[in-house]
Amino acid sequence: MGKYILRRFWQSIITVLIVLFVMFMLLRLMPKENYFTRDDYINMTEEDRTAYLRNLGVLDNPLVQFVRFLRGFVTGDLGRSITVYPKTPISEILKEKIPYSLWFGLVSVLLSVILGFLMGIGMANNKDKLGDQLGTMYVVAVRAIPSLVYLFLIQMWITHLFNLPMVFYEDEPASWILPAISLSLSGIAWYAIWLRRFMVDEENKDYIKFAIAKGLPRNYIMKRHVLRNALVPLVQYLPSQILLTIAGSLIIESIYSIPGMGGLLVYAIRQQDNTLVQALVCIYSILGVFGVFLGDILMAIVDPRIKLTSAKIEREVTA
C-alpha cells in the first residue's frame, strides 16, 4: 500500500509539472499587451513597455521564467493581478475569496452526500415504485432544466415564503441557508442517480441472488453487500469534489452575491489578466490531479479487493 501511494504520489507530481509547463508555455504565446492595463499601455512609451516587461521578467528565457514561477509558487508568491484588480497581490485576492467558496462548497458536498445517498438508497429499495419515480423526476428536473431558472426561482420565491434574505450576508446566518442548499441540488441528484444505478446493478448479480436464496435478511444484504459495493465507484470522486470546492460556483455566487472564487478564472481570462489566469490554472490543476490521487487511495481503502501493489491492478467496478 505504502509503495503504491508513493508511486502514485510521484506520478501525480509529474502530471502536475507537465500540466503547469504546458499551461505556462501556452500563456507565453499570448500577446505581451496582456501584461498591461489599458491605461498603462496607452500612456507608456515603447521603451517604458519594454522596461516594464523586463522588470516583470517575461522577456527572459521561458525555461528560466518557469523555474522562477515554480519557486514563487512554492513560496506563496503568485505575483500581482494586472487588469482584474490592478497591482493587488494574487495571494491577497485568494486569501479573501477562497474561504467563502470553501465553506459553501464543503457544506454542499456534505449535503449532497448525505441527502444523495439517502435518496439513492431509497430509490433502489423502492425500484419502480412511487418513491423511485419521484426521485427520478427530481433528478431529471435538476438535470434538464437550466440551473439558472430554478436557482432564480428559489431565490425569488423561497426567500419570500420564509422571509429569508435575498443575498448572502456574512453576519446573518439565515442568509447562508439557500445558497448552501442551491449549491447541493445537482450534487444530490448526481449521487442519488448513480448510487441507485450501482445498487440496482449489484442486486442483479449472482452472489446477491445466492444470498437471497440462502435466506439472508434483505436489509442485511442491502447494507452489507449491495450498498458497500455500490459505494466503491462513488467514493473515488469524493476527494476531487471536496478539493475543487475552492473553485466556487459561477452562478450561485453571482446571484447570492457571495464574494467567492466562482467566475474569477472566467473573468480573468476575459480581462486577459495573465498572471491571475496562470495562478488559478495552477491551483486548479494541482487540486484536480491530487483529487484523483486521493480518490484512488480512498477507493482502495473502501474496497480491499483492489490490489494496489500488484503489477496488474484489477478493479472490479468502474464508474
Partner 1 sequence: MKHRMLVLMVALSITVFAVAQGTDRYRITYETEPKTLNYFYLIDNTSQRVAANTQDHLVENDRFGRFVPALAERWTTNENATVWTFYLRKGVKWVDDKGKPTEYEVTADDFYEGFRYVADPKNGIKNFGSIRSLLVGLADYYKGLQDVDSGKDKNRTRQQVLDTFKTVGIRVIDKYTIEYTTAKPTPWFLTYLTMDLFFPVEKAFMDKVGAENFGTAKDKLIFSGCYYISDWQRDKLIVLKRNENYWDKKNVFIKEITMQKVSDPAIALQMFQRGELSSAGLNADQVKGLQNTKWKDYIYMTDRSSVTFWWALNFQSKNPEFAAFVKNLNFRKALYYGIDHVKLLSLDDPLSPQNLLRTTIIPEEVIFDEKGKDYTDYPGLKEFKNAGNTYNPKLATEYFMKAVAELTDGKGNIKGVAAQAVDLKPVAQFNIDGKLPLQILIIHSTSSSDTKFALLMQAMFKDVFGPENVEVVLGQYVDDQYDEVIAPQKFDMAYDSFRFAYGDPLAQLGRLVTGGAVNDGGWSDPEFDALVAEADKKIKLSDRYAIFAKAEAMILDRVYIIPFRCGGSAYAIGNVVPYTYPRSGFGVTRFKYKGMKLESKPLLASRVEEIRRQFYADLEKLQGK
Residue 96 lies near partner 1 (rule: CB under 8 A): yes
| Cβ(100)–Cβ(248) below 8 Å | yes
Which residue, 92 or 128, is less far from partner 1 as judged by CB? 92
List of residues 6+ apart from 283 with CB closer than 8 A: 94, 246
Which residue, 65 or 271, is less far from partner 1 as judged by CB? 271
Q: Nearest distance from residue 280's CB to partner 1, in Å? A: 15
Residue 132 lies near partner 1 (rule: CB under 8 A): no
Q: How far are the Cα atoms of 2, 137, 270, 271, 287 from residue 53, in angstroms, in the given order?
A: 46, 56, 21, 18, 30
Q: Nearest distance from residue 144's CB to partner 1, in Å? A: 23
Q: Which residue has the cell 513560496?
A: 75
Question: How many Å from the N-terminal Cα to the C-terminal Cα in the chain?
Answer: 22
Which residue, 93 or 279, is less far from partner 1 as judged by CB? 93
Query: How many chain residues interact with partner 1 (CB under 8 A)?
Result: 46
Residue 137 lies near partner 1 (rule: CB under 8 A): no
List of residues 6+ apart from 277 with CB closer than 8 A: 27, 265, 268, 269
Residue 164 lies near partner 1 (rule: CB under 8 A): yes
Size (the chain), residues:
319
CA-based angle 270:244:196, to the nearest 5?
120
* Only segment of 22-30, 151-159, 200-208, 218-226 that touches partner 1 (CB under 8 A): 151-159
Residue 274 lies near partner 1 (rule: CB under 8 A): no
- Enumerate binding residues for partner 1 (CB under 8 A): 37-40, 42-48, 83-89, 92-93, 96-97, 155-156, 159-160, 162-168, 170, 172-175, 177, 254-255, 257-259, 270-271
